[in-house]
């Protein structure tokens, strides 16, 4: 076997749908852990569309990612906030809410926090 892995998110190992059809998470399982591509539709907000799935007051996942397209506002539990858009690197500690800005989907690749993202509590 060679030292090259070539895969596409369109044939992900797992896809998780968000509440109300507001997007999805496509996961690839790799030897370095899960890598995810999330497509957040306009109107998506963590506290509305993932909180009912996760069962926590705010997102408790840490994220290390790249915004492929669209815009998102991220607000930490302490009130610190940022707007991230196409081409931005993001590193987010646990304890935050986030939502899509504008009328286009926000697509984010994440190398750290999507393994348990949008996964029902206790599963």
Q: What is the CATH number of the domain that holds 96?
A: 2.60.120.10
Q: What is the mean pLDDT of residues 65-93?
A: 98
Q: What is the pTM of this model?
A: 0.92
Q: In what order do the strands lie in the sheet with 23-30?
A: 14-17, 23-30, 33-40, 106-110, 63-69, 89-92
Q: Is the pLDDT of residue 120 over 90?
A: no
Which structural domain range is residue 68 located in?
A: 14-110
The answer to whether residue 3 sits within a structural domain is no
The more confident residue out of 107 and 4 is: 107
The answer to whether residue 45 sits within a structural domain is yes
The answer to whether residue 116 sits within a structural domain is no
The answer to whether residue 119 sits within a structural domain is no
Q: Is the pLDDT of residue 121 over 90?
A: no
Per the structure, how many domains does the chain have? 1
């Amino acid at each position: 076997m060679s030292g090259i892995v070539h895969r596409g998110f369109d044939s992900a190992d797992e896809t998780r749908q968000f509440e109300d059809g507001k997007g999805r998470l496509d996961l690839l399982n790799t030897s370095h852990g899960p890598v995810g591509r999330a497509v957040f539709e306009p109107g998506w907000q963590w506290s509305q569309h993932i909180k009912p799935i996760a069962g926590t007051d705010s997102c408790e996942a840490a994220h290390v990612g790249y915004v492929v397209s669209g815009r998102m506002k991220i607000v930490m539990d302490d009130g610190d906030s940022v707007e991230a858009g196409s081409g931005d690197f993001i590193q987010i500690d646990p304890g935050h809410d986030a939502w899509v800005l504008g009328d286009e989907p926000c697509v984010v690749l994440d190398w750290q926090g999507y393994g348990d993202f949008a996964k029902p509590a206790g599963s």
